[in-house]
Amino acid sequence: MKVVKLHEGRSHEWLVFGRDEERPSKIIDTNQYMIKTANHAIILDPGGIELFSAMLAAVVHHVPIQQITHLFASHQDPDIISSLGLWDKTLPHATLYAPWLWEGFLRHFGCNSIKYNPLPDEGKSIRLDDIEIQFIPAHYMHSSGNFSVYDPQAKILMSGDIGAALLPDGAPLFVEDFDHHVEKMRLFHQRWMPSNRAKKDWVRRVRQLDIQYMAPQHGAIFKGKDVNRFLDWLDELEVGTGV
């Protein structure tokens, strides 16, 4: 599994884990993120059960497992968090932040030891040592209970499925040519995102943030001006085209 440092500051680091070459075929590629502070670490969208071993092995290159005290699931999909039952065995004292709406559903993946901290619809902030992590509402983008994660210090927005693209194996981890990349995102957003109203609401919220990197759970990461290009593109895009 490829690991790239997205941010390295005095107080914390952002790491992205993805492009797993050993993942079984027919399984969509996913990006997992970890924020590491002095004493803690949070894994954002830890991924599906099929890549658990690769993910765990990659993580211990950077932190001892005792340091992983928090998990976050943007929504309930299996590629996001079907590994929960195994993380539950690995990190029995950790806390999972996930939408309140999905608690009864997510527990089907196995959550006997980990503490489920349900995120309210309006979102919330937590502190990890010296940094603040904000859970930004992203409901219906695409899941009915859905959150993005924003780190105001590193100026990184982990956007979950928003900004996702279906890319071939070995594709670059960062968007290199936005206009070309748009075509890899169009179908995903039109078909997976159900609501134009929800989309506008999310774009409005996110425009208020200062974002250096927008990091989706599939595909490539947007940096600098491509973030605003993406927001403009999404704002105009007609979604919910499956009916």
Going across the sheet that includes 124-128, the strands are 124-128, 131-137, 147-151, 156-160, 213-216, 222-223
* 80 versus 221: smaller Cβ distance to another protein: 80
Q: Pick the stretch among 23-31, 32-40, 55-63, 173-181 that binds another protein (CB under 8 A).
A: 55-63
Q: Is 56 in the site for another protein (CB under 8 A)?
A: yes
Q: Is 65 in the site for another protein (CB under 8 A)?
A: yes
Task: Confirm if 210 and 154 have CB atoms less than 8 A apart.
Answer: no
Spatial distance between the Cα atoms of 113 and 93, rounded to a whole number of angstroms: 7
Q: Is 57 in the site for another protein (CB under 8 A)?
A: yes
Q: Pick the stretch among 58-66, 93-101, 210-218, 225-233 that binds another protein (CB under 8 A).
A: 58-66
Which position among 52, 97, 150, 233 is part of the footprint of another protein (CB under 8 A)? 52
* 69 versus 153: smaller Cβ distance to another protein: 69
Q: Is 115 in the site for another protein (CB under 8 A)?
A: no
Binding mask 71-110 for another protein (x = CB under 8 A): --------------xx--xx--------------------
Q: Is 63 in the site for another protein (CB under 8 A)?
A: yes
Q: Pick the stretch among 54-62, 69-77, 143-151, 170-178 that binds another protein (CB under 8 A).
A: 54-62
* 11 versus 66: smaller Cβ distance to another protein: 66
Give how far Cα 61 sits from Cα of 2, 3, 69, 145, 183, Å: 12, 10, 16, 33, 35
Q: Pick the stretch among 25-33, 61-69, 73-81, 224-232 that binds another protein (CB under 8 A).
A: 61-69
Q: Is 3 in the site for another protein (CB under 8 A)?
A: no
> Minimum distance between the CB of residue 67 and another protein, rounded to whole angstroms?
8
Q: Is 4 in the site for another protein (CB under 8 A)?
A: no
* Site residues for another protein per CB under 8 A: 49, 52-54, 56-58, 60-66, 85-86, 89-90
